[in-house]
């Protein structure tokens, strides 16, 4: 992990991107950490887009609210219930 200030980032952007392939880079501004540069591949891109997509975020929040309200069923109990219903 390497610390780089914002001025160095602006001046040496390409070199820092190359360095980032070997280790995470923490970007600082006035001596305080502000961002992290990490390697990012196509699989990471797909995951990032999915996890941050507004519809996915809304569904995840709704599921968490249902869980908090007790509106969910344990999967093992559900499967056992289905198994017993088929007999």
Successive 10-residue mean pLDDT values, the chain, 87 residues: 94 94 94 93 89 94 94 89 80
* 30 shares its domain with 52: no
Whether the predicted model's global pTM rises above the 0.85 cut = no
Number of domains in the chain: 2
* 75 shares its domain with 60: yes
* 50 shares its domain with 79: yes
The string over 15-54, giving b where at least 16 C-beta atoms fall within 10 Å of a residue's C-beta and e elsewhere, is ebeeebeeeebebbeeeeeeeebeeeeeeeeeeeeeeeee
Q: Which domain holds residue 18?
A: 2-37
Can you give the pLDDT at residue 16?
95
* 62 shares its domain with 76: yes
* 52 shares its domain with 66: yes
* 28 shares its domain with 46: no
* 47 shares its domain with 31: no
């Amino acid at each position: 992990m390497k610390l780089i200030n914002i001025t160095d980032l602006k001046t040496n952007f390409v070199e820092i991107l190359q360095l980032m392939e070997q280790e995470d880079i923490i970007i600082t501004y006035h001596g305080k950490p502000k961002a992290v540069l990490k390697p990012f591949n196509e699989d990471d891109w797909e995951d990032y887009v999915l996890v941050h997509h507004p519809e996915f975020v809304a569904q995840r929040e709704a599921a968490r609210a249902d869980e908090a309200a007790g509106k969910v069923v344990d999967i093992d109990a559900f499967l056992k219930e289905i198994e017993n219903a088929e007999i």
